[in-house]
Amino acid sequence: MLAYVIRRIFVSIPILIGSTILVFIMVKFSGDPLEPLKMRNPPAPRQTILNEEHRLGLDQPIHVQYLNWLKNLVLHGDFGPSVHSNTNIGHELGGRLVVSLRLVLISVLIALIFAVITGVVSAVKQYSATDYTFTFTGFLFLAMPTFWFAILLKSAAISYNQAIGTQTFFTIGDKSPFLTDDSAWGHVKDIAGHMILPTIVLGLVSYAAWSRFQRASMLEVLNSDYVRLARAKGLRPRRVLVRHALRTALIPLTTVTALDIAALLGSTIITERVFQWHGLGEFFLDSVGDHDANAMLGWLLISALIVILFNLVADLLYGVLDPRIRYE
């Protein structure tokens, strides 16, 4: 198992490097990060523009810029200079990663729990009223665009707060700037309160698709020969369902979940924008607007590492769910 994990990590390194090269080239040709300075009125001094080009490394060939960025990152953990001289990209990414990662992980966990439960129930009670209800609910949330659902939920929360005259739901920010209860428990409650609405948005959008995969996978497994044999041997229905059918049916859901993490990170950008969270989503959008190549590359690197990590976890879970899968 350890050898398999190490091998997968080494295989992921060329993927990371290849993706950074492609994005680096795309970013470099997408716009000039010094355009606001050059278009300033009155015009900025020529020497000021040259100094900024030298600070950002724009006076070097593109391949030299990339190699310098990669060398500084590997050897010193330096993501490079930002277009804003007072911005430390590594520090910004570290702080914002915590904000976005807690939203992604909790949303994935909640979505998986509900997807497994509703998918199994729908498969066991196929073509019943319960199955039709879960199917309709899944397709309803699946058809909702993330930005529209987030705005709709935020507007409903604001209307509810105004109707009862108190702030029950937090609709802005990932935490309150001022707290009456400055204890550790007070901070935990505040963060949890701000996470309710964004978690609902990401969780339900992900749940909608995953529940359908779980239902289809469970139906296929329930109709397989080894499940019929287990029933014919007189095993209890619950044991057949949980011990024999569910474990195998979870493998396709595990694969889909790992593959959907990239799309979930994209949805996180939209959700954070709607609820004005200071996470990786806001950082990425600001970086795109400023043509900040190093900041965008840092965001890409973090996102790629998250996707690779989830895919590695999914591969390892295959061996847990199906004992026939071995990595030795």
Token pair 């939209």 is found at 270
CA pair distance 298, 81, nearest whole angstrom = 11
Give me the pLDDT at residue 41, please. 80
Query: What does pTM read for this prediction?
Result: 0.84
Give me the pLDDT at residue 229, please. 85
Pick the CATH number of 94-321 from 1.10.3720.10, 3.30.300.130, 3.90.1150.10, 1.10.40.30: 1.10.3720.10
CA pair distance 245, 243, nearest whole angstrom = 6
The CA–CA distances, whole Å, from 81 to 20, 51, 89, 94, 176 equal 17, 13, 7, 16, 30
| Beta-carbon-side half-sphere exposure of residue 280 (alpha carbons within 13 Å) | 25
Task: Show the tokens assigned to 59.
Answer: 């006076």
Residue count (the chain): 328
pLDDT tens string for the chain (328 positions)?
677 778 777 888 888 888 888 888 888 787 788 888 888 888 788 888 889 888 888 888 888 988 998 888 888 888 889 988 888 999 999 999 999 999 999 999 999 999 999 999 999 998 899 999 999 998 888 888 888 999 999 999 999 999 998 888 899 988 888 777 777 888 888 888 899 999 999 999 889 889 999 999 999 998 888 888 888 888 888 888 888 888 888 888 888 888 888 788 888 999 999 999 999 988 999 888 888 888 988 888 888 888 888 888 888 888 777 767 765 5
Give me the pLDDT at residue 327, please. 58
CA pair distance 162, 29, nearest whole angstrom = 48
Give me the pLDDT at residue 248, please. 85
Which helix (DSSP H) or strand (DSSP E) does residue 57 occupy? none
CA 328 to mean position of chain CA atoms:
31
| Beta-carbon-side half-sphere exposure of residue 221 (alpha carbons within 13 Å) | 25
Q: Are 133 and 141 in contact (CB under 8 A)?
A: no
Q: At what angle do helices 247-274 and 89-124 cross, to 10 degrees?
A: 130
- CA torsion through residues 157, 98, 110, 253, sign: positive
Nearest to 148 by CA among 16, 273, 37, 2: 273
CA pair distance 17, 42, nearest whole angstrom = 41
Map out the domains of the chain as residue ranges.
94-321
Which helix (DSSP H) or strand (DSSP E) does residue 147 occupy? helix 146-164
Q: Is the peptide bond before 42 cis (omega within 30 degrees of 0)?
A: yes
Nearest to 227 by CA among 246, 238, 240, 214: 240
